[in-house]
Structure 1
Amino acid sequence: MNTSSAPRSDWKVLCENRRKAQQDSIPREWLLSELPPISQRNVLDIPSKSGILTPRELGITETTDLGVILQKLRSNEWTSVEVTTAFYKRAVIAHQLTNCLTEIFVDRALERARYLDEMLEKTGKPLGPLHGLPVSLKDQFTMKGLETIMGYVSSIGKHAESDSVLVEILYKCGAVPFVRTNVPQTLMWGETYNHVFGRTLNPYNRTLTPGGSSGGEGALVAMKGSPLGVGTDIGGSLRIPSAFCGLYTLRPSYGRLPYYGAANALMGQESILSVLGPMTNSLSGVIEFVKAIIYEKPWDLDPVVIRKPWSEAEYKLSEHGEDGAQLCFAIMWDNGVVRPHPPLLRAMKMTKDALEAAGHKVIEWECHRHIEIYKNAETIFVADGNHDYKTQCALSGEPLIQTMIPTDDEEYQDHDYEPHNPLVKELLWQLHDEKRELRKSHLDHWNRTVSRTGTGRPVDAIISPAVPYTAVPHGLNYDAFYTTLCNALDYSTSMFPVTHVDPKIDVPHEPHDFYNHEDEMIFKLYQTDKFAGCPVGLQLIGRTLEEEAILKMTEIVDDALSKWKAMTMQI
């Protein structure tokens, strides 16, 4: 069908009006005088060259260590108004280049910032651990009086009557929520595109995806348009954008951080829970966020949150040799389903060398029942036969998006979505039982590594890719099992950047014996020049509810990499 000549329907008009309202919410003086040509792929340096930010504002937004930003806010060296304004300007520039934002509410955010500055002036005390800090939020976290569109046309015009629990706690912590960020329709894509706001681009290379479903946060934080973003993760939606955009994040275990009141897809699906986590340019930002939220006792506001205060003993690795002087990591070179591209293999080799140089032990991880875990998780995700997605789309008449590959007319993809048969409850219960058995089997497998570590403990953490490639062309990010493995098993997992693709080093490998058709397709996807300069990151996988320990071990890995790079002069 020739979509360009299709009659315009009401849902299209709603989208046009909503985009216009978004554009009208941007102060005119924050608009770029001229947009770069689409042929300019990397746009990371445009904010500093735009002339929109003052030298002081550039200094504020170029400060990536969140601990430094918070210290300057608490001491009143930087006011919340000037920090919020600086990041707001940069966020709007990032949006013009990558289309990363949904909600822009400048007056509301600056009013909050002025209130915090006045309180600090009057009392001499910061309001909370995140005093004055602007925080961006994925377009799931409801804020009273604002729409939470979440990628669906049917949500246009529906304003929240209350804040989600996370937003409540952020206010208690003294934060300034200031923008919300783009997501895919249904949330269940590793790409960020919907009919309302369109497609989000990767600032490292705009022909590539920033990932999904927290792709708006990934692009924004990579552009340094936010010092701290909050996304969610049900199958990799925090870690994939963080990998593609060179960021740090944490995928906590179920119920560790408060999710109540957030909008979501597949509401009521509690077999594999979506969780929230921070996305930042520094590991300190991840730690500051987790500590701040837990210190506010989120279990008093969200009945699903586990009553577990921040444990300094666990952070000091009380169950991992106390001081972490010698840890044993295992590297998952591949997952037995898809082999990683050359840059990921190099990143793992770099990390192994760095850890061994720092006195730690590194062994090879032996994969365990991965195909069974993968099939179990994917069957759970489609258990309702796509009823949720189709119902939401039917409310407005918008078509259900079937592909993230760009089309001639991205506003309209009118095709019949191939349905899945919904599972009867007995089969779903069988999946739950099977998942529990798989988790127990994997736990036992992990514990048996004590015979190989030499530390008297099982492997302390696993290092693996989050995805088998770096950022890829739009529509081609379709493998998420490296991340979904952790969601299915509920392992606390961090993400950390390691290096960037170097075409001189990361040359294509010779074909291997492919595991399956997908492995072959992903192998053929790699072209050295296509991914030049893209960030390369890895995930660090810990045990269930082991957030404090995994954050400390990520610090250890990050520090080892920094020292090793300095010693070997590698970047």
Structure 2
Amino acid sequence: MALDCVSSYLHALKENWQPVLLLVPYSVGAAALAYVWQKRKEVRTWIKVAQENRERAFREMERAVEQFKKQNPGLTSESVLSLSFKDLHKNLQDGQLSPEHVLYTYIEKALEVTNQVNCVVDYLQECEQQLQEMKRNPRKGLLYGIPVSIKENIDYKGHYTSLGFARFLDKKASEDSVVVKVLKKQGAIPFVKTNLSQSMLSYDCSNPIYKQTKNPWNPKKTPGGSSGGEGALIGGEGSVLGFGTDLAGSIRMPSSFCGICGLKPTEHRISKHLVRTTTPGQKSLASMLGPMARDVDSLALCMKAVLCQDMFDLDPNVPPLPFNDEVYNSKKKLRIGYYDRDGFWLPHPSMRRAVMETKKLLEAAGHTLVQFPLPDVEDAIYSMIRKGVFADGCAVLREKFEWDVIDPNLTEMVALCRTPVLIRKVMAFFLKFWDKNTARSIVMSCGIRSVKDLWSLHVKIENFQKEFVNQMRKLEIDVILCPALGPALTIGYPQKASDAISYTVLYNHLNFPAGVVPVSKVTEEDEKQLSLQTPQTRLEKIFYEGVKGGVGLPIAVQCVALPWQEELCLRFMKEVETLTRK
């Protein structure tokens, strides 16, 4: 009987096989749509939970401040906020100020600033427990009692490290990053995490979870990226010291746009252990962790604090090179190479003016200035930097964005990454007759064909670095003075003018320490000169539209030294800061 039933079913299937086969693609399609719907539902849920957690964190910040004020009615915020980092540090070391007074003052100020510009994404409530531990064991490290803000991609135990992706909101960090451990050992108190651009591959500062951060000088302008939350918080005086990361200028551009100082050290001078990146394994362009603050002395003290035995023990990849005070405090006159444009990207008039005015001040102070001939920056951008960063043909990036909500500032980049390589090459072929730079960018994002090609690229990068160093030695140059990108662009423009990073990404490519120092502000004359200049490419024209309306915004210069000479770089930055502030 059973065999008869099976036989009848097989006979019916044989007679009606075409309708059954037609149902297969519909079933597969329905299953695929259901899977996509489910994944996107999860993403939306994770984003909602993260946003609720942030609101809860802000309420905890308010509670902590109110409780402290009730217990200490005679203490004022102004007595803390009015102090420079140097005086704040001294008063904490001498015991004239308590770490509690300083911490809760800056928690309150950080809340005020983030209400204006949306820069804080998380409260590190464990800072309150750290205060209690410091009372029980009052060992005074070099950063004793200093509140420190950290970029969102730096792991802190029990908190999200999302990089602006909802996909990474399913779990929290299981331990502190090395830099956080070292900061705590030195008595610093990490207290908030700050916003970044989704994927950290944009010099704007926005993501689908925590939204857009604004510039504290002008809310229509970007604070820069990807460490824009740090730039905005410190620039708005809601923090005295912070840490960002820098792959193509992500510390230096926010520092320049927000009127603060920032240092990108040589790779591995500071531990990167448990500091997250979007493209792990990418070795063609050096990414680095570095400090951001309102003045150079703050950066120097921070470097002195973290370059300690604790860091060398925790991460053996960091060379045991303590901070060299003798170099930083030296008064020896410098031989300085300079340039006011890189020959690739037409700078804003204020960028060139800032360099030339600083050059005159340095010469008047007795330093020797020598014009520095740059190598072919355009070739470095397209034939080495872009080729190396996108050596996988954007495969890792496509994977990261697969089910995620895409930030509006990244739509063009993601669309290009998702376009098949063959179509990208066809697009580039036709685009070269209209905009050769855009065409080259598309070609260089198509990937590298073999491991042999990648190794050849690395050899080319090494040769470029050697030639640059040889040129500096030939001219007997100690350091380089050059433009920092600025002023801040209108929100939304950075993705349209991505090649403007040429002024900062060059020193990631070379793996040189580089820092920025604010020296001036955009003037009406700068704006007038901007209108008289003729952009050379479509992208430069877009950049010029983005920087319009910048009168009053800060302008910085960039100071550069050879690898592992962070102390000399900071000494040069200090000299520039001293002369321009006078």
Shorter-chain TM-score range: 0.7 to 0.9
TM-fit CA distance, 1:205: 0.6
Q: In the TM superposition, what are the counterparts of 1:127-526 in structure 2 within 5 Å?
A: 127-317=140-330, 323-324=331-332, 326-375=333-382, 376-394=384-402, 397-401=403-407, 403-404=409-410, 417-418=418-419, 420-423=445-448, 424-449=450-475, 458-467=476-485, 469-477=486-494, 478=498, 479-503=500-524, 506-509=527-530, 511=532, 515-523=536-544, 525-526=546-547
Aligned to 1:566: none
Query: What secondary structure, in the 3-state scheme, does the structure 1 residue paired with 2:307 have?
Result: helix
The reply to whether residue 17 of structure 1 matches residue 49 of structure 2 is yes
TM-superposition CA deviations, 1:393-439 (whole Å, max 9, x none): 33xx2144463589xxxxxx999843543422221111101101111
Structure 2: which 5+ runs fail to align?
A: 1-36, 64-72, 421-444
Distance 1:254 1:544, change over 3 A: same
TM-fit CA distance, 1:348: 1.5
Distance 1:505 1:160, change over 3 A: closer
| C-alpha RMSD of matched pairs (Å) | 2.5
Residue identity opposite 1:421 in structure 2:
C
Residue identity opposite 1:95 in structure 2:
T
TM-fit CA distance, 1:515: 4.8
Query: What secondary structure, in the 3-state scheme, does the structure 1 residue paired with 2:289 have?
Result: strand
Task: Report if the CA contact (8 A) 1:127-1:172 is conserved.
Answer: no
How many angstroms apart in 1 are the aligned matches of 2:556 and 2:264? 15
TM-fit CA distance, 1:16: 2.2
Query: What secondary structure, in the 3-state scheme, does the structure 2 residue paired with 1:390 have?
Result: helix
How many angstroms apart in 2 are the aligned matches of 1:476 and 1:405? 12
TM-superposition CA deviations, 1:200-253 (whole Å, max 9, x none): 111111111001010010001111111100001111000000000011111111
How many angstroms apart in 1 are the aligned matches of 2:275 and 2:147? 19
TM-superposition CA deviations, 1:82-133 (whole Å, max 9, x none): 1110101111111111111121133x2122123224433xxxxx43111111
Task: Report if the CA contact (8 A) 2:391-2:454 is conserved.
Answer: yes
Task: Report if the CA contact (8 A) 1:228-1:279 is conserved.
Answer: yes
How many angstroms apart in 2 are the aligned matches of 1:54 and 1:422? 63
TM-fit CA distance, 1:510: 6.3
Aligned to 1:3: none
Aligned to 1:453: none
Residue identity opposite 2:352 in structure 1:
L
Residue identity opposite 1:110 in structure 2:
E
Query: What secondary structure, in the 3-state scheme, does the structure 1 residue paired with 2:199 have?
Result: coil
TM-fit CA distance, 1:77: 1.4
How many angstroms apart in 1 are the aligned matches of 2:463 and 2:182? 36
Query: What secondary structure, in the 3-state scheme, does the structure 1 residue paired with 2:267 have?
Result: coil
How many angstroms apart in 2 are the aligned matches of 1:263 and 1:442? 30
How many angstroms apart in 1 are the aligned matches of 2:353 and 2:462? 35
2:93 to 52, 68, 74: 74
TM-fit CA distance, 1:297: 4.7
Distance 1:422 1:99, change over 3 A: same
Aligned to 2:576: 557
Distance 1:334 1:55, change over 3 A: farther
Aligned residues: 505
Distance 1:389 1:487, change over 3 A: same
How many angstroms apart in 2 are the aligned matches of 1:414 and 1:492? 33
How many angstroms apart in 2 are the aligned matches of 1:417 and 1:19? 28
Distance 1:430 1:54, change over 3 A: farther
How many angstroms apart in 1 are the aligned matches of 2:76 and 2:531? 50
2:79 to 54, 59, 76: 59
Residue identity opposite 1:222 in structure 2:
G
Q: TM-score with structure 1 length normalisation?
A: 0.83
How many angstroms apart in 1 are the aligned matches of 2:504 and 2:74? 40
How many angstroms apart in 2 are the aligned matches of 1:362 and 1:186? 39
Query: What secondary structure, in the 3-state scheme, does the structure 2 residue paired with 1:472 have?
Result: coil
Distance 1:447 1:514, change over 3 A: farther
How many angstroms apart in 2 are the aligned matches of 1:364 and 1:402? 41
Query: What secondary structure, in the 3-state scheme, does the structure 2 residue paired with 1:497 have?
Result: strand
How many angstroms apart in 2 are the aligned matches of 1:77 and 1:418? 61
TM-superposition CA deviations, 1:425-456 (whole Å, max 9, x none): 2211111011011111111222222xxxxxxx
Residue identity opposite 2:488 in structure 1:
A
- Mark the structure with the bigger radius of gyration: 2
Distance 1:119 1:491, change over 3 A: same
How many angstroms apart in 2 are the aligned matches of 1:549 and 1:465? 18
TM-superposition CA deviations, 1:244-302 (whole Å, max 9, x none): 00111111111111111222211111222211111101111100110000123523222
Query: What secondary structure, in the 3-state scheme, does the structure 1 residue paired with 2:354 have?
Result: helix
Structure 1: which 5+ runs fail to align?
A: 1-5, 32-52, 121-125, 318-322, 407-412, 450-457, 564-571
Distance 1:446 1:54, change over 3 A: farther
Comparing both structures, which one devotes a greater share of its residues to helix?
Answer: 2
Q: TM-score with structure 2 length normalisation?
A: 0.82
Residue identity opposite 1:238 in structure 2:
I
Query: What secondary structure, in the 3-state scheme, does the structure 2 residue paired with 1:540 have?
Result: strand
Task: Report if the CA contact (8 A) 1:337-1:516 is conserved.
Answer: no
Task: Report if the CA contact (8 A) 2:142-2:305 is conserved.
Answer: yes
